């Protein structure tokens, strides 16, 4: 069933003070990335940056949801997942890969696989378009009940099963360096709920957007 009403979940309580730990982590990430970039560029290597791990920790600090420690499985203890992408000094075109189960590790995936994911987070490290400052944004969707998101996924699964789509990698293309919340996909362009946004200013990050209601009261909206 793809059109059921959104499932309302209890919002986890973030640690206190609410945003200070997240801003500290963002500053550390920025410093680590660009300090390493000097050595990487001098030796003709990519910048060493584990975007997925930084993104997971950031989401935990913003929401209070714990990770899996050293256990395998989902990214978070409650079954939620995170996808990260970093535009800074990127060689290729960053995008969110493997957003739903679709053939990796022997699991072809189907709509039922969405029912066990309370939240799916998307973390994008890019530049704001006006002053070209580095920034970080976090969007969130509830795969277990967001009607528009489920409709797009159902269409993708059907086209994959019919052979129209050959790849098993379900990709979403984020609004890189744009002031937009629209992710594109051949099976549907949607505007995603924005949870958090911060810009690098001087020697630290300034919060531009913080919408904790995105976790419980917001849903995806169809976009052109």
pLDDT digits (tens, 9 = 90+) for 181-217: 999 999 999 999 999 999 999 899 999 999 999 999 9
Residue 202 has what pLDDT? Answer: 87
The residue behind tokens 């066990």 is 116
The residue behind tokens 């969110």 is 96
Q: Domains of the chain: which residue ranges?
A: 20-222
Residue 2 has what pLDDT? Answer: 45
The DSSP code sequence of 67-111 is B-TT--SSSBTTS-EEEEEE-TT-SS---B---S-SSGGG----G
Give pTM, 2 decimals. Answer: 0.90
| Distances 161 to 149, 155, 165 between C-alpha atoms, Å | 18, 10, 8
User: What is the DSSP secondary structure assignment for residue 113, as one 8-state letter?
Assistant: G
Band (pLDDT 50/70/90 cuts) for residue 83 is very high
Identify which has the larger pLDDT, 16 or 37. 37
- Kindly state the average pLDDT of the residues 38-51: 93
- Kindly state the average pLDDT of the residues 131-148: 96
Residue 91 has what pLDDT? Answer: 85
Is the pLDDT reported for residue 14 higher than 70? no
């Amino acid at each position: 069933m793809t059109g059921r009403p959104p499932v309302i979940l209890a919002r986890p309580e973030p640690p206190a003070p609410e945003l200070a730990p997240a801003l500290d982590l963002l500053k550390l990430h920025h410093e680590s990335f660009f300090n390493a970039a000097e050595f990487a560029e001098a030796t003709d290597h990519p910048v060493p940056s584990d975007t997925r791990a930084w993104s997971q920790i950031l989401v935990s600090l913003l929401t209070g949801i714990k990770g899996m420690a050293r256990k395998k499985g989902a990214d978070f203890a409650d079954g939620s997942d995170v996808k990260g992408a970093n535009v800074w000094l990127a060689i290729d075109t960053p995008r969110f890969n493997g957003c739903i189960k679709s053939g990796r590790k022997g699991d072809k995936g189907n709509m039922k696989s969405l029912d066990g994911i309370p939240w799916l987070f998307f973390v994008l490290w890019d530049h704001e378009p006006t002053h070209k400052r580095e920034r970080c944004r976090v969007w969130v969707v509830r795969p277990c009940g967001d009607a528009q998101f489920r409709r797009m996924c159902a269409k993708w699964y059907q086209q994959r099963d019919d052979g129209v789509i050959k790849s098993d990698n379900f990709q979403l293309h984020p609004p890189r360096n744009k002031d937009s919340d629209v992710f594109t996909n051949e099976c549907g362009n949607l505007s995603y709920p924005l949870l958090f946004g911060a810009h690098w200013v001087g020697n630290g990050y300034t919060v531009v957007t913080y919408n904790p209601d995105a976790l419980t009261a917001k849903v995806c909206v169809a976009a052109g």
